[in-house]
Structure 1
Amino acid sequence: MITEFIETAGIVSYPLLLAAFLMLFIIIERTIVFILNYRSINKAEYLEAISEFDSNNIKSNILKEKKGIAAKIYYNTLIKKPKNREEFKLYLDAEEIDQLPELEKHLGFLNFIAQVAPTLGLLGTVSGMIKTFQVLGLGGNPEQMALGISEALFTTAAGLIISLPAAAFYHYFYAKIEKLHNQMNNLKLESESMLFKKEIKESNQVSQQESHNKELKKNELSA
């Protein structure tokens, strides 16, 4: 089958075959990575696990037992025992920078394949049409003309067949990553508020007091 494709598509068949094999490899590899590491976040479960996190009892910790990259991020963050909001945000951001790119790996190349495959198909189309016109110039052998037209159409179809699944899987994977990002941001805000509720309350009280003092000074100056 591959030999027939090479004979029909001509020299452009080699980069098209390479693009097809790379596309399949990336899709399979990314699918395995997502199956092992990607889990949608159940906010209620995560908030409960975060609130009950005990860094002194690591073995029976819920976050350690949970599968998914989000659980790993929060486990690695809380095990460092952040003392305040700033430390918590710093540790969490650092873990996200370390862990989340694992899901995005190779997706840029998959998008490149989706964009370049139709161009390779078009190149084969031009090559096939050139051969057809050369045959016409030499008298127009019907068999050779048919081969040129066949090469032109075959490479176009091959380019599109490679491009469509590559683009589809690229957008599918990135949609899942974007969903996880949004869930992580939502969870970050709620977990931060839950863990450092007292600190946030004190900060608000200080802000209110400062605002009140400014208002008093303003009234005194006006008087």
Structure 2
Amino acid sequence: MITEFIETAGVVAYPLLLAAFLMLFIIFERTIVFILNYRTINKEQYLKAIEDFDESNLGDNILHNQKGIAAKIYYNTLKRNPQSREEFKLYLDAEEVDQLPELEKRLGFLNFIAQVAPTLGLLGTVSGMIKTFQVLGLGGNPEQMALGISEALFTTAAGLIISLPAAAFYHYFYAKIEKLHNQLNNLRLESESMLFKKEIEETTKKGLKKNELSA
């Protein structure tokens, strides 16, 4: 089958086959990574686990036993025992920077494949049409003309067949990452408010007093 594809598509068949192989590999590998690491955040459960977090008994905490990157981020943050809101934000930022890229790996290359595959198909189309016109210039052998047109159409179709699933999975994976980002931001605000309620209230009071004095 691959041999027939190479014979029909010509030289462009090689980069198209490489693009197809890389696309399938990235989709399969990313799917496994998402299955192992991606979990939707149950906000109530996470807030309860954050509130009950005990550094002296880490093994029994829900965050320790929960699968997913979000649980790992909060477990590692709280394990460092932040003493202020500012420390909590810094530790949380550091963990997000460390953990979230695991979900984003190779997605940029998947997007590149989605964009370049139709161009490769178009290159094959141009190559096939050049061959067809060359045959026409030499008298127009019907069989050779058919081969040129076949190459032109075949490579275009191959480029689109590679591009469509690559683009679809790229947007699917990034939609899930965006959803997780939004859930993490929401959880961050509520957990900050819960853990450092007194500090936030004191900061707010100081700000109000400054405004009154300046007025």
What amino acid sits opposite 1:191 in the alignment? Answer: S
For residue 61 of structure 1, report the CA deviation from its aligned partner. Answer: 1.1
Amino acid at match of 2:134: Q
- For 1:218, the equivalent position in structure 2 comes to none
Alignment partner of 1:142 is 2:142: yes
Counterpart CA distance in 1 for 2:212 and 2:167 is: 57
Q: Distance in 1 between matches of 2:12 and 2:195?
A: 59
Give the aligned partner of residue 122 of structure 1.
122
Q: Residue 48 of structure 1: CA displacement?
A: 0.7
Displacement of 1:207 after TM fit?
Answer: 2.1
Kindly indicate whether residue 172 of structure 2 is the aligned counterpart of residue 187 of structure 1. no
Corresponding position of 1:75:
75
Deviation at 1:210, TM superposition (A): 2.7
**Alpha-carbon separation, structure 2, partners of 1:212 and 1:136:** 88
Show the counterpart of 2:108. 108
CA distance in 2, matches of 1:68, 1:54: 20
Partner residue, 2:7: 7
Partners in 2 of 1:16 and 1:204 — Cα distance?
A: 60
Report the 3-state secondary structure (helix = DSSP H, G, I; strand = E; otherwise coil) of the residue aligned with 1:56: helix
Greater Rg over alpha carbons, structure: 1
Identity of matched residues, %: 81
Residue 59 of structure 1, CA deviation: 1.3
Shift of 1:40: 0.7
* Amino acid corresponding to residue 113 of structure 1 in structure 2: I
Q: Which amino acid aligns with 1:13?
A: A
Structure 1, unpaired ranges of 5+: 216-223
What is the identity, as a one-letter code, of the residue corresponding to 1:100? L
Q: In structure 2, give the amino acid aligned to 1:98.
A: D
Paired with 1:154 and 1:177, the residues of 2 have a C-alpha distance of 35
> TM-score normalised to the size of structure 2?
0.98
Q: After the TM superposition, which parts of structure 1 deviate over 4 Å for at least 4 consecutive aligned residues? A: none
Task: Give the structure 2 partner of residue 205 of structure 1.
Answer: 205
Q: Which residue of 1 aligns with 2:169?
A: 169
How far apart are 1:204 and its partner, in Å? Answer: 1.6
Distance apart, 1:148 and its partner CA = 0.4
Q: What is the CA deviation profile of residues 126-155 of structure 1, one whole-angstrom value per residue up to 9, with x for unaligned ones?
A: 000000111111111111110000000000
**CA deviation profile, 1:10-43 (whole Å, cap 9, x unmatched):** 0000000000000000000000000000001111
1:168-203 alpha-carbon deviations (Å, 9 max, x no partner):
000000000001001100100000000000111111
Cross-structure match for 1:92: 92
Other-structure match for 1:46 = 46
TM-score (norm. length: structure 1): 0.95
SS at 1:26 equivalent: helix
Give the corresponding residue for 2:36. Answer: 36
Match of 2:61 in 1: 61
Coordinate RMSD, CA, aligned: 0.8
